[in-house]
Structure 1
Amino acid sequence: MIQFPRNLHNLYHFKRDGQQFVADLDIGVVIPVNEVVCDVLNVCGTSETDAIVEILSDKHGSRSEILEVLAFLSKLSEVGILFSSDRSEIEVPHRPDRPKIFLTAGILESRKTTPFLLNVANHRLITGLADHADLYLPVSEKNNNRQEIEEGLRAEGIQPILFRSDRSFSPAKFIPKDCDGILALSPLTIGEQVYLKFNTIPVVLRLSNTALMSHKARNTALERCAALKPSDAFASDASWTQTFFSGFVPDMRVFHHIPYGVDTSVFKPMDKRKCKYQLSQALGNEAILQKPLVGVVSGLYPHETLRFMQKLRSANPNVNYLVIHSSIDDNFTGDACVNFFNIASQQDKEASPFIFNALDALVFPTILGSSPLLLHEIIACSIPTVVWGYSIPEEISGACRFIQISPSLFDPVQLPIEAISRELKLLLENPDGQKRLGQEGLEAVSTYTYEAAIQRILNLFRELRSHPVCQSNPTKRRLLFKKHYNLVSGEIESEAYVLSQIPTPVDLEQAIAMTLLEDHTPMEVRTVLESICRKPERVKKILENLI
């Protein structure tokens, strides 16, 4: 029997004289089909074979008819009609004793919306990982520079797997046999979220703190928290990220702090006076030489950053500021004491060690949206740091002055201007304290290398593979439960979806009943539901609709 999900050719469905046809535009063949065939083709890109049989048997009332259609499609597949190569037919090189790791497609698809520094770090991580594992990455055939991307990936030791992006698809079609793990370095697509709920392959989901500035990104992380399996884990690049999601996972051990590496041969202490002079020349602002220069990483939206800097500048008039990694226009109401440096290109990246070494101190927030990459690189230049936020960063816990604020996943961030000003003043007036914090920070991040990050990821996959795996049985109704922050009510709500080609929202109590009925009697389900919603009539109506 043909196995799904499968990737379809470029198909065109049409009717003529009451008869339905499907044209395979890739090979120039027209096939007469019936309604059952059309239904199979509509869902075969996102569902497994057993699930398709169960779902369509209910719809058409005949299991044998569905099996006959699958046999018909299997014959077409054997001669290359309608379907692309099955994943098991894809020839991919493999070296013994090396793990196979599948990278989700989002790492390429989201490059334009991912911050430059994060793109650079992910590229460095992937190319290093390719030295230790066989990597597989799906690439859309419709990408304008597909050939260039494909050649670049092969040169870096990554096996590209081409797919058509004109239909929704499940990653199941592209994952090699005996895959040891799935690594998601970017937010998941809808198709990936649906598939990863039911697969049994270990999944490591990268939780990049920089990418969690928006409510949308935080909601995506919440959705994954609700759908975690025993073989899943989060790999956060910041030690403080997990604080925000502690109430949404069954066990905090699903979080693993795996920071990106720091190239200490590039980011290292330099002559501060020389670096500060070069910066003043580059900015055309000699005022930088007249006062202490404090770097600021805001982790906030542009308008919030402006408000933060206005308050900080007003409270500390005897300090110059350099706002780092911000796209805000550098015209700060004509104030020469506040300057901006945005790292948006390789040239900016290469200049950053010299600019970081011009700083006398750093103000950094441990909030969602701030960049741990910047924190580690600046500290590697031996810059003393004042940290404000929800939790002290574990990586430099003894190498900074810390200001605590109340944690919140979605509420506006409190700006402790007075406390920051006080700590800055104490730090800048204490040269010995600056030197001590700078040295301790330098020692703390010296162990952060990309090789160490890669080994921790590989070890995490080994650990996850040792967990017991419960094979997901195909059911008539497959459900996905999510949590979502409602901007209007300001509350976190639960949601449920019936999974089909297009996930369909369903009432939460009804979704619970649908799930429980798979393994429990109606009376047992009724007892549970009544204890949850305390509305017997509503429970009765739900069960009547399902049974």
Structure 2
Amino acid sequence: MKMTYPKKLHDIYKFEIDDRLFVADLDRCEVLEIDKLVWDILDICDSLDAEQIIETLGDRYTEDEIMEALQSLEKMEEYGLIFGESPSHAEERGGRMKILAPRSRVFEKEMRWTALGGIIAHTNLLKSMTKYADVYVTREIDLIEGAHLIPLDLRQRASKAKAISMGFDGVFLWFPTELEFLDMVSYMDSPLIMPIHEERGENGIMINLVMIWYSLLRDFDSFVIFSESTREFYSKFLMDPSFFKLIPLGVDAEQFRPMDKQAAKRKVAEMTGRAEILERKVVGFLARFQPEKGAGIYIKLAEMNPEYLFLVVAPSLGFYSNCHLPSNLIYAGRQPREKLPLFYNAFDLFCFPSLLAETFGMVVLEAMACGVPPIVPDFHGARYVVGDAGIIVEGKSFQHDIGSLSGYIPVELLSEAINRLMKDDHEMERLSRKARERALKFSWDASAKELIRLFKELNLRKRFIKRRRLFHVTFSPVYEGKSSGVKSTILNLTQYWETPLQRSGYTQSVEEGIALTLLKRHSMREVESVLSYICRDRRKASEVLSRVNAILESVI
């Protein structure tokens, strides 16, 4: 085993209990029992190489004993223990921002095989952010080049305390589904950014998750969205769309680039054993082959257009593996990400008939970067990616999901668009050029810079947020002739025993009184939710909240 010393130590603390020796790795929140030899090595291993350690300790231990101990420490390092840069060494990082990227769940074992667009996008964002900030991940699978591993389990109190002590400048979460991190808004004083990789779906489940996060976010937290469609959608439910910051995703234009099409087709024909790929035009599909992604529509397109080949790149055929598929549909199998540019280049056009509310459409952008014209529906984020560099087909967006579907695309319209483009070489060539040109406007580097800029903006906003002065409110019955009701009254007394108003006893609506009372313990967005329920009228709730906010802002 090759040993590299000296090594940078984590923040560690050595101690002894009842003649037993221990070392606490404060960065990992782990305590390990060690022997006297390892205890002594830890005193010098950050400044001496292996030969010097053996020489220094040679009068007390044999060389074999020292070598065995050094190897055991190497093993600890493999597990992220004892050694590595300590997040608390801020002076060594030149003042760069420190961003924590925790994740509670892992869906993929190896990134090169994953077909989950959200995972791919998030990983690329983190990788690009490492150029401009120090990024800390909590799971070994997320340890990308340039990032630091601090395997905290933020469900545990000790890990929460450690995260607080590290003084992060921001927390970049992964998915709204990770409700385990909801309590971070109560103990982390750092801005939180929550990306929305999935606009809706699963019959309203994702919408409700986003609204839970919206209610708890503080004024210096934010959502990140990847196309305007997400803001448009959530504006139907929520009063403050300013919490949704647009940062488009990117593409690696060096990896995904145009190749010689015939050479790409020849290679794919060899890989699939289908020589006709060289002779016929190909309509490509690259996504999970599921009804939600438009697999059923794609099969119908193949049946309607036997003169073209329909080439599928997907982890599996899923349900459709037991169905009779048309002979012009070719399944190329599961492919690693490094081979995807080859398949994109074998497509003459790229068909993306997804029936989900896609927030962006990364595969569409990758196809465009390879110079392949895309065809997409008009009811999700992919239309913002395509712009005027492809064909956008009119579809039907559902107000409420049915099953996990958010809309539908008439297969006849898609078929017409495919035929129109396939039979017009001039238009195909024009869109191919435009697709590549437009794709070059999207980069992971630009996305990362925008994220860092947003974190800086949120930190600045945090500095200027003051705690609101909140008035005491009473509720009382009121007699009005033959009927009775309820009124609320503002008392000229804040929680700091101040009296900023001219007098006491201003009568307000019950809804305003409820809002002022709830704000003592809840966020403005939580109160928004309650008012929307009480008023049963979003416009009225918005007016109440606006008046309440006005009086609070006037006395700050």
TM over 0.5, shorter chain: yes
For 1:351, which of 328, 336, 339 is the aligned residue? 339
Give the drift of 1:308.
Answer: 1.9
- SS of the aligned residue for 1:352 comes to helix
Amino acid at match of 2:99: I
Amino acid at match of 1:102: L
Give the drift of 1:126.
Answer: 1.9
Q: Is the 8 A contact 2:96 2:133 kept in 1?
A: yes
Name which of structure 1's ranges 361-370 and 228-237 shifts more when overlaid on structure 2. Answer: 361-370
Distance 2:242 2:518 in 1: 31
Distance 1:460 1:272 in 2: 40
1:256 — aligned with what?
245
Instruction: State whether structure 2 residue 265 is matched by structure 1 residue 276.
Output: yes
1:460 — aligned with what?
454
Aligned length: 393
Distance 2:271 2:468 in 1: 60
Instruction: State whether structure 2 residue 88 is matched by structure 1 residue 92.
Output: yes
1:4 — aligned with what?
none
Instruction: State whether structure 2 residue 465 is matched by structure 1 residue 469.
Output: yes
Give the drift of 1:320.
Answer: 1.3
Cα–Cα, structure 1 residues 182 and 166, in superposed 2: closer, same or farther, change >3 Å? closer
Which digits, 9 at most, give the CA deviation of each residue in 1:439-488, with x for residues without a partner?
111111113222111101011112222334355999xxxxxxxxxxxxxx
Name which of structure 1's ranges 388-397 and 324-333 shifts more when overlaid on structure 2. Answer: 324-333
Instruction: State whether structure 2 residue 171 is matched by structure 1 residue 182.
Output: yes
Instruction: State whether structure 2 residue 390 is matched by structure 1 residue 400.
Output: yes
Amino acid at match of 2:317: I
Amino acid at match of 1:93: H
Cα–Cα, structure 1 residues 246 and 303, in superposed 2: closer, same or farther, change >3 Å? closer
2:429 — aligned with what?
435
Structure 1 spans left out of the alignment, 5+ residues:
1-24, 29-89, 140-148, 475-508, 535-547
Give the drift of 1:355.
Answer: 1.0
What does 1:109-508 correspond to in 2, within 5 Å? 109-111=106-108, 115=115, 118-139=118-139, 149=140, 153=143, 156-163=145-152, 167=156, 171=160, 173-187=162-176, 189-196=178-185, 199-209=188-198, 216-297=205-286, 301-302=290-291, 305-328=294-317, 331=321, 333-341=324-332, 348-365=336-353, 367-369=356-358, 372-391=361-380, 393-408=383-398, 410-411=401-402, 412=405, 413-467=407-461, 468-471=464-467
What does 1:103-114 correspond to in 2, within 5 Å? 103-106=101-104, 109-111=106-108
Q: Is the 8 A contact 1:266 1:353 kept in 2?
A: yes
Amino acid at match of 1:363: C
Identity of aligned residues (%): 21
Distance 1:241 1:416 in 2: 23
Distance 1:217 1:236 in 2: 14
Distance 1:533 1:244 in 2: 20
- SS of the aligned residue for 2:372 comes to coil
Amino acid at match of 2:281: P
Q: Is the 8 A contact 1:208 1:238 kept in 2?
A: no
Structure 2 spans left out of the alignment, 5+ residues:
1-29, 34-85, 471-509, 522-526, 538-556
Distance 1:445 1:530 in 2: 44
Distance 1:396 1:210 in 2: 18
Give the drift of 1:516.
Answer: 2.6
Which digits, 9 at most, give the CA deviation of each residue in 1:204-236, with x for residues without a partner?
112224996785444423322333332222223
Distance 1:182 1:173 in 2: 14
Which digits, 9 at most, give the CA deviation of each residue in 1:287-306, with x for residues without a partner?
33443210135677358744
Distance 1:394 1:419 in 2: 20
Q: Is the 8 A contact 1:206 1:236 kept in 2?
A: yes
Amino acid at match of 1:397: G
- SS of the aligned residue for 1:235 comes to strand
Amino acid at match of 1:360: D
| Bigger Cα Rg | 2
**Aligned-pair RMSD on alpha carbons?**
4.1
Cα–Cα, structure 1 residues 320 and 246, in superposed 2: closer, same or farther, change >3 Å? farther
Which digits, 9 at most, give the CA deviation of each residue in 1:98-126, with x for residues without a partner?
112121233x6454597455444433332
Which digits, 9 at most, give the CA deviation of each residue in 1:351-408, with x for residues without a partner?
1111111111111247425872211111011111211130562233111111232334
Q: Which has the higher contact order (CA 8 A, sep 6+)?
A: 1
- SS of the aligned residue for 1:393 comes to helix
Cα–Cα, structure 1 residues 361 and 162, in superposed 2: closer, same or farther, change >3 Å? closer
Cα–Cα, structure 1 residues 379 and 253, in superposed 2: closer, same or farther, change >3 Å? same
